[in-house]
Amino acid sequence: MRYTRLLLLAAAAAAIAVVVVPAASALTFPDDICPVRSGTVIKVCPAGEVGKPYSYQIKGRDGTGCVPYVEFKVTGALPPGLSMSSSGLISGTPTATGEYIFWIQMTDIPASQGGVSWCADDNSTEKQFSITIIQGLQIVQRQSTLAPGQLTVPYSLQFSATGGSPTWTVSSGALPAGLTLSSTGLVSGTPTTAGDYSFKITATDGSRSDTQSYSMSVVPKLVIGRTTNLGEVGLAYQFTPQATGGKAGYTWTVDGDLPAGLTLDTTSGAITGTPTAPGTFALKLTVKDSLGLTTTVDFPLTVAPRLLVTRRPLPAAKVDAAYRATLRATGGVAPRKWRILGGRPGLLPKGLKLNARTGQITGTTKQAGTFRLRVQVTDQLGAHSALGVILKVSA
């Protein structure tokens, strides 16, 4: 009886040992991992496209070897741009077309390197694999932000793609109101509603496609207000242009050389200083907003010579005789305005008067004598010039 009990215990122990310590069988690749090409022994993995991310996991068949305690190595050349990790993940972005054939070796990881105790150190297998890389369809416009649109201004943008002749669609979101996308990839129209828009554009050519996400802003039309185009030598000049529309954050530039003595503030657009030489300057004034929109206006700036009363004697007058004389000035900006300063020196003799607009002195005087006067002329820009003159009236 005792002998029979010992035999039963020994049999049970042997059964337990069979369960706890499994035997490692030969490694093999499953049939659904890169199926074998008909008529060959090469396992064909999914194709990739140039410029498109690629990812494919190689693994061993469950129930063979010590799966998942295995590592992978590749022999030969994977497609350029791809690599394989020790866990069997082939990934990257292909850079060249063609069919690439290579070997993959799968080996049990022994216990000394993190595997399980019953894995054999030399249990491995290898197979020949193939990956074909085709020319990918890729949208050329990769930037995430498209050129902004302006209200009432026609907009046009032609999308293009490499690797095919695709049909174009808006696959998510919506274009700004007033714009449409043709099947050939042309975005056109006139924006009607300001705002920020997000959408996706998809190019499709057969089984190949590419999708890009974009954002686009529509703003009021960027406009520069009227300009002040007159300056004068020796007279302080200040002009700050005004811009409306676009998106705030303006930068100003001038195309052409400013008159000597003037400078431009690129942030405010202010042109300031005191011109030192006369001339006509064919300039262009440009403003750029924070979205990159620009607009340009002609800015012909004229700098007049300094305003000066001409130094010349007045013709003599006679009592009871009609009199006419004209004061002269050079430079400045018309219209000009004349006046007699009065005080000491004094005023015109009785009977004569000054036309402020023309500078003419006319009339008939009844008073003889020598009259010392100081005349002043003021121009449109506020510059003025004064000069002492003498008018003699004889009896």
Q: Quick one: average pLDDT of 154-178?
A: 96
| Nearest C-alpha neighbor of 291 from the set 225, 224, 196, 212 | 196
SS3 state at 15: helix
Q: How far apart are CA 305 and CA 328, in angstroms?
A: 15
Q: Say if CB 339 and CB 354 are below 8 A apart.
A: yes
Encode 55-77: b = buried (16+ Cβ within 10 Å), e = exposed.
ebebbbbeebbbbebbbbebeee
Q: Quick one: average pLDDT of 171-190?
A: 98
Do 123 and 59 belong to one domain? yes
Edge-to-edge order in the sheet of strand 322-326: 322-326, 360-364, 352-354
Domain end point (choices 134, 159, 187): 134
Confirm whether 9 is domain-assigned. no
pLDDT at residue number 149: 98
Is the pTM value of this prediction over 0.75?
no
Specify which residues 79 forms β-bridges with: none
| Nearest C-alpha neighbor of 240 from the set 262, 255, 259 | 262
Do 182 and 159 belong to one domain? yes
pLDDT at residue number 258: 97
Q: Which two tokens stand for residue 336?
A: 């000009």
pLDDT digits (tens, 9 = 90+) for 363-391: 999 999 999 999 999 999 999 999 999 99
Which CATH number fits the domain that encloses residue 183?
Answer: 2.60.40.10
Do 295 and 328 belong to one domain? no
Given a cut of 70, is residue 127 above it in pLDDT?
yes
Q: Any idea what DSSP says for residue 16? A: H
Q: Any idea what DSSP says for residue 292? A: S
Q: How far apart are CA 128 and CA 246, in angstroms?
A: 61
Q: Say if CB 304 and CB 233 are below 8 A apart.
A: yes
pLDDT at residue number 299: 96
Of 277-281, 297-301, 345-349, 364-368, the least confident? 345-349
Q: How far apart are CA 372 and CA 383, in angstroms?
A: 24
Confirm whether 287 is domain-assigned. yes
pLDDT at residue number 62: 84
pLDDT digits (tens, 9 = 90+) for 296-311: 999 999 999 999 999 9
Do 114 and 42 belong to one domain? yes
Given a cut of 70, is residue 7 above it in pLDDT?
no
| Nearest C-alpha neighbor of 210 from the set 45, 46, 50 | 50
Alpha carbon 162 to chain centroid distance? 24
Q: How far apart are CA 99 and CA 110, in angstroms?
A: 34
Do 288 and 341 belong to one domain? no
Q: How many domains does the chain have?
A: 4
Q: Report residue 65's pLDDT band, with 50, 70 and 90 as the boundaries.
A: confident
Confirm whether 63 is domain-assigned. yes
Q: Hey, what long-range contacts does 168-171 have (CB within 8 A, 24 or more apart)? A: 168/201, 168/202, 168/203, 169/201, 169/202, 169/204, 170/199, 170/200, 170/201, 170/202, 171/200, 171/201, 171/202, 171/211
Confirm whether 294 is domain-assigned. yes
Given a cut of 70, is residue 18 above it in pLDDT?
no
Helix, strand, coil percentages (3-state) for the chain, rounded to 5, are 5, 45, 50
Q: Report residue 67's pLDDT band, with 50, 70 and 90 as the boundaries.
A: confident
Domain end point (choices 178, 199, 219): 219
Number of other CB atoms surrounding residue 160 within 10 Å: 13
Do 77 and 175 belong to one domain? no
Do 371 and 348 belong to one domain? yes
Do 142 and 113 belong to one domain? no
Given a cut of 60, is residue 99 above it in pLDDT?
yes
Q: Report residue 325's pLDDT band, with 50, 70 and 90 as the boundaries.
A: very high
Confirm whether 5 is domain-assigned. no
Given a cut of 90, is residue 121 above it in pLDDT?
no
pLDDT at residue number 163: 85
Do 203 and 245 belong to one domain? no
Do 291 and 323 belong to one domain? no
Domain end point (choices 219, 234, 251): 219
Q: Which two tokens stand for residue 236?
A: 């302080």
pLDDT at residue number 15: 42
Q: Any idea what DSSP says for residue 334? A: S
Q: Report residue 293's pLDDT band, with 50, 70 and 90 as the boundaries.
A: very high
Do 24 and 129 belong to one domain? yes
Q: Which two tokens stand for residue 107?
A: 């080996």
Do 329 and 245 belong to one domain? no
Pairing mode, strands 384-394 and 317-318: parallel
pLDDT at residue number 27: 85
SS3 state at 195: strand
Confirm whether 169 is domain-assigned. yes
Confirm whether 273 is domain-assigned. yes
Q: Any idea what DSSP says for residue 137? A: P
pLDDT at residue number 115: 58
Given a cut of 60, is residue 352 above it in pLDDT?
yes
Given a cut of 70, is residue 41 above it in pLDDT?
yes
Query: pLDDT above 70 covers what percent of the chain?
Result: 91
Given a cut of 60, is residue 259 above it in pLDDT?
yes
What Rg value do the Cα atoms of the chain yield, rounded?
A: 46
Residue scoring higher pLDDT (17 or 226): 226
pLDDT at residue number 116: 64
| Nearest C-alpha neighbor of 325 from the set 368, 358, 351, 374 | 358
Given a cut of 80, is residue 120 above it in pLDDT?
no
Confirm whether 8 is domain-assigned. no
Domain with 130, as residue range(s), is 18-134
Which H/E stretch holds residue 363? strand 360-364
